[in-house]
Amino acid sequence: MAALPPGHRQPLSHQSRWLFRTLHAAELAGLDPAEVTRTAIVSRDLAGARDIASVLDARIRQRVDPLLPQPQGPWAERVPHLPDPDRRAYLAQIAALMDDRKQRLGQHAAQIAPAWAIAALGPVPDDAAARRGWERKAASIAAYREMFGYNHPDDPIGPEPSRDTPDQRAVWYEAFAALGPVGELDVRAMRDGRLWVIRDAYATETAWAPRHVGRELRLARLGAANADQGAIRSAAEADTARKTGDRVRAGWHEELAASYQAMADCYRQQETIFAQTMADRLEWEHATTHSRRLAIAADAELRRRHPDLKIEPLCSAEPAPVSDIDREQVALAPDQRLARWPLGSAIWPPNGRRSARGSRNAWG
């Protein structure tokens, strides 16, 4: 009221409860409520404002909503400074009981190992120091569950509370911090703009991925093995025909054996290129694992922050899989001429393949 211009110092409407709630959220985020109020008042003229509380609440929310609650620390450190020493001593006793209760909740979780604790923190460690750290994390989660009546057996803390409940949201974030970032990727403190940039990197990283040709590699290896067996069988038939004096049949089987051998050689050339392509694929996966996982985490964080925002699914820009028609070109017939082998087709990578360390290879 003291920060308002003299002409606007009047009793606030019932909408002031939302203003005070927003100021409390600002306080939990580490801001000074008095400074936030003064900044909101002087940011624009209040002339024509029909409800001062609603106007200030809307201005302050623009600043506070993107912020996350700060760690609040032990209850004993949050006892307000009251002029009455007896009331302050009474609150200090309650705060000490709250801190003790929280610690015992963590110890109890370590003793009974509930499903939500194992899912969030893993098995209870045997080492004493590691067990104490496990209990501290479990204490924050168990305190949230008890304070706000969340009793799901497997899910530790449930969805993030709305901004209309700043105290619950602050305790939820303390419990959320105890869970730890999945896979050592923490995007919770990043601003929305940076999250969008990281999310967009997923398309960039997947665009230069070598094509996955695992199925084609398998077909090439099976083709080579079958061609070897056909060559052996035709050679044996030719040898039998020669022994019986059937030169025509022997010549036909010799030609068929040579064709099978040529098929096996072609399949092995194909296998070599496909195997190298899959090796490049594996190298690409290792090189981009961190950035791709970070992009997925950023996408999940954006969806958590903005449940009502229509966000397009995170799509890979990898090359499209080989069609069944192109894959059929892998299969050869024993009487097929090698000159007709589709070396320039989509199923056969041309020469000049480059490593995944550089730009995409022929399969990219």
Q: Give the count of alpha carbons within 13 A of 350, CB side only.
A: 6
Q: Which of 329, 325, 337 is nearest to 263 (CA)?
A: 337
Assess whether 95 and 54 both reside in one domain.
no
pLDDT digits (tens, 9 = 90+) for 314-338: 888 888 766 665 555 555 656 554 4
Assess whether 27 and 53 both reside in one domain.
yes
Assess whether 334 and 247 both reside in one domain.
yes
Residue 362 lies in a domain: no
Assess whether 149 and 216 both reside in one domain.
no
Alpha-carbon dihedral 125, 129, 133, 138, rounded to 10 degrees: 50
CB 350 within 8 A of CB 338: no
DSSP tag of 190: S
Assess whether 30 and 145 both reside in one domain.
no
Residue 346: predicted pLDDT = 36
pLDDT digits (tens, 9 = 90+) for 243-263: 999 999 999 999 999 999 999
Residue 348 lies in a domain: no
Q: Which residue bears the tokens 């080579």?
A: 224
CB 257 within 8 A of CB 265: no
Residue 90: predicted pLDDT = 96
pLDDT digits (tens, 9 = 90+) for 16-37: 888 899 999 999 988 888 998 8
Assess whether 227 and 332 both reside in one domain.
yes
Cα 15 from Cα 148, distance rounded (Å): 26
Per-residue confidence band for 119, with pLDDT thresholds at 50, 70 and 90: confident
Give the count of domains, the chain: 3
Residue 363 lies in a domain: no
Cα 160 from Cα 168, distance rounded (Å): 9
Assess whether 166 and 280 both reside in one domain.
no
Q: What is the mean pLDDT of residues 173-193?
A: 73
Residue 271: predicted pLDDT = 92
Residue 325: predicted pLDDT = 57
213 contacts: CB under 8 Å, gap ≥ 6: 274, 277, 278, 281, 322, 363
Per-residue confidence band for 268, with pLDDT thresholds at 50, 70 and 90: very high
Residue 144 lies in a domain: yes
Assess whether 218 and 303 both reside in one domain.
yes
CB 312 within 8 A of CB 200: no
Assess whether 55 and 96 both reside in one domain.
no
CB 111 within 8 A of CB 134: no
**Better pLDDT: 105 or 9:** 105
Q: pLDDT averaged over the chain?
A: 83
- For the CA atoms of the chain, what is the radius of gyration? 35
pLDDT digits (tens, 9 = 90+) for 346-359: 333 333 333 333 33
Phi then psi dihedrals of residue 224, to 5 deg:
-65, -40
pLDDT of 182 > 50? The answer is no
Assess whether 279 and 314 both reside in one domain.
yes
Residue 193 lies in a domain: no
Residue 192 lies in a domain: no
Assess whether 52 and 94 both reside in one domain.
no
Residue 221: predicted pLDDT = 93
Instruction: State which residues form the domain around 277.
Output: 206-340
Residue 187 lies in a domain: no
Residue 221, number of CB atoms within 10 A of its CB? 16
Residue 303 lies in a domain: yes
pLDDT of 187 > 90? The answer is no
CA–CA distance from 221 to each of 44, 48, 276, 329, 350 (Å)?
Answer: 74, 80, 14, 14, 19
Assess whether 106 and 168 both reside in one domain.
yes
How far does the chain reach from its first CA to its final CA, in angstroms?
A: 65
Cα 237 from Cα 249, distance rounded (Å): 9
Residue where a domain stops, chosen among 180, 214, 231: 180
